[in-house]
Amino acid sequence: MQLIIVESPSKAKTIEKYLGGKYKVDASGGHVRDLPEKRLGVNVADNYTPNYVISADKKAVIKRLKEKVEKADKIYLATDPDREGEAISWHLKEVLGLDGRAQRIVFNEISETAVKEALKNPRDINYNLVDSQQARRVLDRLVGYKISPFLCKRIQSGLSGGRVQSVALKIVVDREREIRAFVPSEYWNLTAEVKGAKSEVFSAVLEEKRGRKFKPSNQAEADVAEQIVKNGKIVVKEVKKSVTKAHAFPPFTTSTMQQDASAKLNMSSSMCMQVAQHLYEGVETANGHLALVTYIRTDSVRVSPVAQSMARNYIEEKFGKEYLPSKPNVFKSKKNAQDAHEAIRPIDVSLTPEKAKPLLDRNHYNLYKLIYDRFIASQMKDVEYNSVQITSEVGDYALKTYGRTVKFKGYTAVYNDYRASEEDDSDKIKIIPDVEEGEVLDLTALTKEQKFTKPPVRYTDASLIRIMEEKGIGRPSTYATIISVLSKRKYTTKDGKNIIPTDIAFAITDMLTKYFSDIMDISFTANMEDRLDDIENGGQDWRDIIGEFYPSFIERLSKASSDGDEVTDILCDKCGAPMIRKSGRYGKFLACSKYPECANIKSENEEVSDVKCDKCGAMMIYKTGKFGKFLACPNYPDCTNVKPIDEKVVEQKCKKCGGLMVLKKGRFGNYLQCVECKETLSQTEKAGVCPQCGKPTQKMTSRNGKPFYGCSGYPTCNFMSWDMPNGEHCPICNSFIVIAKDGKTKKCSNKDCDYTDKPVRKKKDAKNS
């Protein structure tokens, strides 16, 4: 038996369909082991060695795979074709004890041809890719697990920070600060509707004065310009006509796909990646399991010659030779792009969006069409425009007209990038006015409009991904995760598509910028990404990169954690060492300088109460927590007793042991509790009679604030009712009777029973009637 191990069950189904019964295909479900969740998991003293543990939910998977491995003659590790996939293959090899038995295969698309070709060309695991992934994982763990507790201590609990996440948050916060600090400036638009001897009416906008750019900055300036344009002679000074071209866009990378899906389909980056993953791995259709696109995590725009040929044949057949370039369009990938696999494209060009539509749901169809159209358009001719720029003069002022019409559709017959669509909505008119230099134009209308400059726009998923890519923050496979984490942590919210930082985001950004300026510096983060990428090319030990960064990071963390600390002359009442004044979430406090040998802490201005600790007898002290003041034993941590301030000792003794009883407040009202044996006694209002056992019922309050009646004999009797029972039973259905809201009328508690017993009104005396 030959065994192929992939990541996802969907991928396994697709491959198994292509290979028939010759191979068994199983899935690991992603990573089978990782760094532990609740501890650092990196041995800093041992050259940053990661301590991987098997994930609890993968033990059954590993057991199943081990059983299949024992029966297999050949084993192929076919996880995704990137560094994450390479690392998963390595983890599988280690956990399953494969040694030299397993070989690695990769394919850029899940098609029968690609899979069979990969099986002909197996290789060993690429440890440079593995090391690059390990370096990122370890570095992110070291930063995240150290910074997060610092934020929790200095700001509030539950916060987290990260090497890339925090920089992305800073980008959003900085933009919001620009918006808040923005002061709008007034300007005025003057638009003249003019007509030449042979032309139709067209628009000309005031843009210059005495040869320099000019917009009236107030109404007075606008009024002057208006009078000159209205009463002067408008003469055409210059007419520039040209044919302009725009080259087709390259096929999608991970980043550009997310940007276009956000702008055109209103699809979040995380949703886009989820749908794209399905299209890559294969989706269930009426025609069986079907994979539609190539690997979706890539920053390369390279396309295979076979795919180019498929696209060119389709273009010639559907649009004609005039839309086909003389040779295939080739695009240059950006610097540092990982060129291991192609751009994102359809696997089979003959499966058009129209043919695929009945097989897919709305989201999958829309994204497939976007990918398909972008790929086909990438191999089409340029779009050509007839363009014109007309400059007209009147007095000291110059009016400008921009016109453009499509001469040849080119690639736009199939696809328009969302930024090109935005440009089409600009002030360019869609005609070419027929005027000549020196011609005098007739003014048919003149409009004057007050405007104000607008602040920078907030980021959307699309624009935030674009800026992260431009700045080198993160990598294509991480953009969606970063944006998703910021939202889940409540560091950002959405107003439509716009990303808005919350108040806590400002506090986090300021705190990290103050103490960790390098981590929060965009260029530093981008440079680190490049260095981590370089590990893939070999010649760079990943531990060296972390070793250069970590010691100085820990030194800054230590200084940040102790910033504001001050040695006092107050001695620790546990060990006698001097106490240090520290700053915490709830203000200043004192901590023993011998920590961690002595963990004694106390409030700087401790106030001793007159309440004795009922566990050790010490006089309790007042402390303040996030829910307000409370009493705590001064002998902490030997005695951890705490109690609320509003407890009062009552005269009543405990019936069980004779101890003191204290009055407490609970979720359902007041109650008494013995300080010795903890026996409790309800102090809630008695009202009504239990119809089950005859004991009085108690009026209590639910956690939602709604009153109800429960038996005082609880837990022996668990009767409860939203209305007050009177202990009687209905003569019709035998359900219990309750008192209505008027406090007098009796009615059956059974909603299906109509029994009521209203009190009889006494007749008035005849003389009073």
Q: Which residues contact 351 (CB under 8 A, 6 or more apart)?
A: 292
Query: 317 to each of 338, 412, 492, how far by Cα in Å?
Result: 34, 17, 48
Residue in 295, 323, 372, 550 annotated catalytic: 295
Token pair of 683 as six digits: 């102090």
Q: Give the DSSP H/E element, type plus range, for residue 279.
A: helix 269-281
Burial of 39-49, coded b for 16+ CB within 10 Å and e otherwise, reads eebbeeeeebe
Confirm if 368 and 292 have CB atoms less than 8 A apart: yes
Confirm if 511 and 155 have CB atoms less than 8 A apart: yes
pLDDT tens-digit series, residues 294-353? 999 998 999 999 999 999 999 999 999 999 999 999 998 876 666 567 999 999 999 999
Indicate the length of the chain as a whole number. Answer: 769
- For 376-462, where are the E strands, in sequence order? 383-394, 397-408, 440-452
Query: 513 to each of 218, 559, 633, how far by Cα in Å?
Result: 41, 14, 39
Amino acid identity for residue 377 in this structure:
A
The stretch 676-698 carries a mean pLDDT of 81
The conformation of residue 761, written as its DSSP 8-state character, comes to P
Look at residues 73, 76, 100 and name the one whose alpha carbon lies nearest to residue 89: 76
Token pair of 535 as six digits: 């590990």
β-pairing, 566-571 vs 578-584, is: antiparallel
- Crossing angle for the helix pair 542-561 and 522-534, nearest 10 degrees? 150
Look at residues 130, 122, 420, 124 and name the one whose alpha carbon lies nearest to residue 248: 420
Is the pLDDT at 769 greater than 50? The verdict is: no
How many C-beta atoms lie closer than 10 Å to residue 435's C-beta? 22
Q: What percent of the chain has pLDDT over 90?
A: 64
Q: What pLDDT does 554 receive?
A: 94
The stretch 234-262 carries a mean pLDDT of 95
pLDDT tens-digit series, residues 520-543? 999 999 999 888 888 988 878 999
Instruction: Report the range of poorest mean pLDDT among 33-37, 105-109, 419-423, 580-584.
Output: 419-423
Of the two residues 448 and 745, the one the predictor is more confident about is 448
Look at residues 8, 3, 23 and name the one whose alpha carbon lies nearest to residue 96: 3
Confirm if 460 and 262 have CB atoms less than 8 A apart: yes
**Could you tell me the pTM of the whole model?**
0.74
- Crossing angle for the helix pair 127-154 and 542-561, nearest 10 degrees? 0
Catalytic residue check, 323:
no
Token pair of 472 as six digits: 């080198």
How many C-beta atoms lie closer than 10 Å to residue 563's C-beta? 12
β-pairing, 587-592 vs 102-104, is: unpaired
Q: Give the DSSP H/E element, type plus range, for residue 727.
A: strand 725-729
62/77 Cα distance (integer angstroms): 14
Token pair of 640 as six digits: 């951890």
Q: What pLDDT does 614 receive?
A: 82
